[in-house]
Amino acid sequence: MPKQVDQVNQNAGRPVDDVLETMHAIMHLYRSAQQRSLRDGPNDLAHMEVKALGFFARHPGATQSELVAHSGRDKAQVARQIRALRERGLLEVQADEADRRSSRLSLSVEGRAVHAALHSNDGRLKEQALQGFTTGEQDALRDLLARVRANLQAMPD
């Protein structure tokens, strides 16, 4: 009987498959390194909690609904993240002056400190990933990846 080979995770060998598999592997390595730093760090934050902190760092005073729209996550999942971040003292809440049913969220002093530490670690990770690349090579890579992204975004739903 011939030996059967699992083809699920095998590369089909086409150049486009190689490119997309490489992109996937890079993101897996990057996310794994991020997760290790989160797990080993003092804050024990989940990936999406870090993303939420980053969102409110860039958009202080945004609402939970705005985070839902930005992240594409469901309302219940975002509500749990917000609750966890508030309970840890990383987010502050203020009533929306224009709409009392809505709350505005921003990083607390501790939240800003945690975000700064995470941002610093992320910067080291990015530097490691692009070590040895010239500025021109980084620009070319960014341009090529922007084209891949645009191609995928142009796909009909």
* Domain range summary for the chain, segments of one domain joined by +: 43-152
Alpha-carbon radius of gyration of the chain: 20
DSSP structural state of residue 72: -
Distance, first Cα to last Cα, the chain: 45
* pLDDT at residue 5, rounded to an integer: 46
Q: Do 46 and 83 meet the contact criterion of CB atoms below 8 Å apart?
A: no
- Based on the number of CB atoms within 10 Å of its own CB, is 4 exposed (0-12), middle (13-18) or buried (19 or more)? exposed
* pLDDT at residue 120, rounded to an integer: 83
* pLDDT at residue 13, rounded to an integer: 58
CA distance linking residue 111 with residue 88, whole number of Å? 9
* pLDDT at residue 10, rounded to an integer: 52
CATH number for domain 43-152, candidates 3.40.50.720, 1.10.10.10, 3.40.50.2300, 1.10.540.10? 1.10.10.10
List, run by run, the mean pLDDT of 10-residue segments along the chain (157 residues): 49 71 92 78 79 94 93 92 94 85 92 88 90 97 95 91
